[in-house]
Amino acid sequence: MTFSDFFGVFIVIGLYVLYEVYRWKKHEKKMENYEIEYFTPSSYTNAVIETDNPYIKCDNDHPIVYYEMGDEGFVNCGYCNTRYVYKND
């Protein structure tokens, strides 16, 4: 592997990392515009929670995950199986 090959790989990896940072920052910016609902860890595991916010942050004793309600009107957390139901008043 020559220096130019190594440098090319380095550039590609660097561009990929920059792209992922851009995507994350864009997601964070989108989430700033909405009031995120917080729930007490462990107390809602396997529960059904009604919310009027289509954007959910779930951190019930697992890594923090963000969900956006789809057309179904609900979303299940992939870690703790908590179901968030969107109630549109």
State residue 37's pLDDT score.
59
Q: What is the CA radius of gyration of the chain?
A: 19
Report the chain (89 residues): mean pLDDT per 10 consecutive residues: 76 83 73 58 68 87 88 89 85
pTM of the model: 0.50
Helix and strand numbers (H, E) in the chain are 1, 5
Query: 3-state DSSP helix/strand/coil percent for the chain, to nearest 5?
Result: 35, 20, 45
Cα angle, residue 51 at apex, residues 40 and 66 outer, rounded to 5°? 65
